Amino acid sequence: MDDETRQRYIRAGRISAEALEYGKGLIKKGSSLLETTELIEKKILELGGKPAFPVQISCDHIAAHYCPEQDDSVVFGNQLVSLDLGVHVDGAVGDTAYTIDLSGNYPDAVKAAQQALAEALKIVGVGVTLGEIGKAIQDTIAGYGLAPVRNLSGHGIDIYNIHTEPTVPNCDTHDKTVLRKGQVIAIEPFATTGLGMVQESGAASVFMLVAKKPVRNPITREVLRRIESYEGLPFCRRWLVREFGQKTNYALRELAMLGMIEQFPPLVEVKKGVVAQAEHTVLIEEEPVVLTRL
Ligand code: MN
Ligand code: MN
């Protein structure tokens, strides 16, 4: 990685960390989830970054991919609230998450996810295997009597690409692939009171452009031009509704039919266990750099 790119990652990481700190302060009983999401996205822009994906706030048994629609009416109450955000600076991404227990009922879930991340960060580095990272996470979470979510994982990050090789597991997969200098990876343990598996549930509000095809319809073309400005990073319906109103759903339906967008429905724990998450983005060097830590 050249020095200019490295500086972009460092900047994206720092803005992610600052936006996460800001967001943590907004998650309070009685606050609106939609307003909180929009304030955090505004903060990211003020800090000089752009959202690498829509801010995700997933409550209780929802593990990931919950992103409010324009008319979302959820108000925080006695919930376990996971805030997951990403910031990019010219395509270099920082991805970070934190869970707040407003219910007071699940202190161990929060601690297990955070401790698992801490243990993984203690061992991460050049030559460490993916299986070793997964084992550190699994053992730590199991030590709290909880389960890691096995079908969610951390991931490699590349320019304008938030999910690439390698897959960074949350359990011991015995994967012997080693981490290499110059890789950027996100480590993201999920701890649950449930079985440790998630499945898709409900309608997607998060999408990603995955193919280029000729589009004839002028409405769809207009919306597609905005979607192309996200450079292949995920986006949400809310961003488009703000600009295009009712045209949005028409265009999204057509793009889905054409196979041009991938949809990401909310991921829910299969036994309705509550799920806590912690996440940092790390630059693998001889001395690994935790990019999203203040
Ligand atoms: Mn994330
Ligand atoms: Mn991630």
Ranges of the chain whose pLDDT falls below 70: none
Instruction: Specify the pLDDT at position 34.
Output: 98
Ligand nearest to the backbone CA of 86:
1
Q: Report CA(221)–ligand 2 centroid distance (Å).
A: 30
Task: Give the 3-state DSSP-derived string for 179-210, with helices as H, strands as E and coil as C.
Answer: CCCCCEEEECCEEECCCCCEEECCCCCEEEEC
CA distances 277 to 8, 41, 74, 109, Å, are 26, 20, 20, 8
Numbers of helices and strands, H then E, in the chain? 7, 17
84 has catalytic annotation = yes
Residue 60's SS3 state is coil
Rounded Cα–Cα distance for residues 170 and 135 (Å):
7
DSSP result, 20-31: HHHHHHH--TT-
163 has catalytic annotation = yes
* Active-site residue identified among 72, 90, 163, 231: 163
Q: Report CA(186)–ligand 1 centroid distance (Å).
A: 8
Q: For residue 44, count CB atoms less than 10 angstroms from its CB and return exposed for 0-12, middle for 13-18, buried for 19 or more.
A: buried
Instruction: Specify the pLDDT at position 164.
Output: 97
155 has catalytic annotation = yes
CA distances 72 to 34, 42, 60, 171, Å, are 6, 18, 17, 34
65 has catalytic annotation = no
Instruction: Specify the pLDDT at position 180.
Output: 98
Q: Report CA(188)–ligand 1 centroid distance (Å).
A: 7
Q: Report CA(18)–ligand 2 centroid distance (Å).
A: 17
* Active-site residue identified among 41, 84, 101, 119: 84
Q: Which region, left, alpha or beta, applies to residue 182 given φ > 0 means left and ψ of -120 to 50 means alpha? A: left
Question: Please, which residues have CB within 8 angstroms of residue 160's CB and are 6 or more apart in sequence?
Answer: 88, 91, 231, 232, 233
Q: Report CA(240)–ligand 2 centroid distance (Å).
A: 23
